[in-house]
A and B are shown apart, each in its own frame.
Chain A
Amino acid sequence: MKKTINIKFTLVLLLIGFMIAVQYNSMENPKQRDTRDIWAIRQELAEEKKLHSELLSEIRELDNTISSYRSLSDSSTGQAIKDTVDRLHQKAGTTDIEGPGIVIEVRPSAESIAYGIPITSISSDLLTRFVNDVNRFKGINMEIDGKRYNVMSSIRVINGSTSVNGLNVSTPPFKIKIISQTMSDSEKLYNYLLASSIHDDFYLDNLILDIKPPEKDIVISGWSEKFENLYLNELPKGD
């Protein structure tokens, strides 16, 4: 008799313990309360949707590559791979590129010249800020004072002077070239930069941005250094 009571109590206690643990789990998570309002959530949703559409377009592009591989006969597979490599090189910014874009000249401000304030190199913070501001626009290629800026590039201070890709940026005036996908993208970027508050930041450093109207053919040079690949290795032939 006592044994059956014990078993029943055990089962009931097991159930109670389980329920308490589940309740504890549910109360603990999430640890932080979600305090976003509807607009913050909408904004996040919009960002996610943007990411979604970007991923979709990337998938579409890769699908195209696959179908082009499939449609080609064996003899021209080499050509297809070569095309892909060329396209990847272009994407990585190793090739010279020509297209519609804008030229921006960074010059010392008229006041600083009038007052005879010594012209110093542009600060790395300001240059980074400018690059971040411009990078709102997708699909752009940039060259800062003749140095190609891509995802591998770095803006740093080396021995007191600002450098891009390890090469010094000359003291102003120097030119920044930005190439967009289409002429209308260039115009958008031009209009955005004209109205941007980045001018104030430059002016505080006694510099002004002289933004030239969009042009059809602007050439920027490719990434001059060699890529170091630390992760991928070539397989021995025959494997």
Chain B
Amino acid sequence: MWLPLLGLIFGVSLGLLSDIQIPQVYSNYLSIAVLAALDTLFGGIRAHLQHIYDDKVFISGFFFNIVLAACLAFLGVHLGVDLYLAAVFAFGVRLFQNIAVIRRILLAKWSDRGKNSQGESS
């Protein structure tokens, strides 16, 4: 539990301390890549909680989603259509759905644990 959190903190501090900046033109790509990564992450957590987690799906999904989102944004720029909005919309919806499922599972687990402890005590 703590190790992933530590990874997040380490990544953020590495990014802030290295003071790397990307040109304004490419910030769209990065933002959509972040969104794709978050989507994959929450998908992974959900799959883990539902006991259907697969390493290959998770890792391939992580990189594939990022690349696909960036490609979509790139295509959008060249076609003059804000295609990256499609990716933002899709990832946004999935993000909410995944978080909702995670919440339900956690709630179910929590209430189960409550019931169990009640049963044991009585």
Q: Tell me the bound Cα distance from A10 to B58 in angstroms.
A: 13
> Would you give the 0/1 interface string for A16-37, flagging 1 where the beta carbon is closer than 8 Å to chain B?
1111111111110100000000
Q: Tell me the bound Cα distance from A12 to B34 in angstroms.
A: 11
Q: How large is the interface on A (under 10, 10 to 19, 20 to 34, 35 or more residues)?
A: 20 to 34
Using a CB–CB cutoff of 8 Å, the interface residues on chain B facing chain A are 3-16, 19-24, 27, 30-31, 33-34, 37-38, 40-41, 44-45, 48, 53, 55, 58-59, 62
Q: Do the beta carbons of A20 and B4 come within 8 Å of each other? A: no
**Minimum distance in angstroms from B8 CB to a CB of chain A:** 4
* Chain B contact residues, majority secondary structure: helix
Q: Tell me the bound Cα distance from A16 to B11 in angstroms.
A: 7
Contact of B8 among A5, A17, A25 (CB under 8 A): A17
**Minimum distance in angstroms from A170 CB to a CB of chain B:** 59
Let me know if A192 is at the binding interface, CB within 8 A.
no
Given A5-B48, A16-B37, A18-B11, 9 other A-B residues pairs in contact with their CB atoms under 8 A: A12-B41, A12-B58, A13-B8, A17-B15, A19-B30, A21-B16, A22-B15, A22-B30, A26-B30
Q: Do the beta carbons of A6 and B3 come within 8 Å of each other? A: yes
Q: Tell me the bound Cα distance from A166 to B9 in angstroms.
A: 62
Q: Do the beta carbons of A26 and B24 come within 8 Å of each other? A: yes
Q: Tell me the bound Cα distance from A15 to B4 in angstroms.
A: 11
Q: Do the beta carbons of A25 and B34 come within 8 Å of each other? A: no
Q: Tell me the bound Cα distance from A18 to B55 in angstroms.
A: 22
Q: Tell me the bound Cα distance from A17 to B30 in angstroms.
A: 12
- 10 interchain residue pairs of minimum CB distance: A21-B15, A17-B11, A10-B7, A14-B11, A17-B12, A14-B7, A18-B11, A13-B8, A9-B4, A13-B7
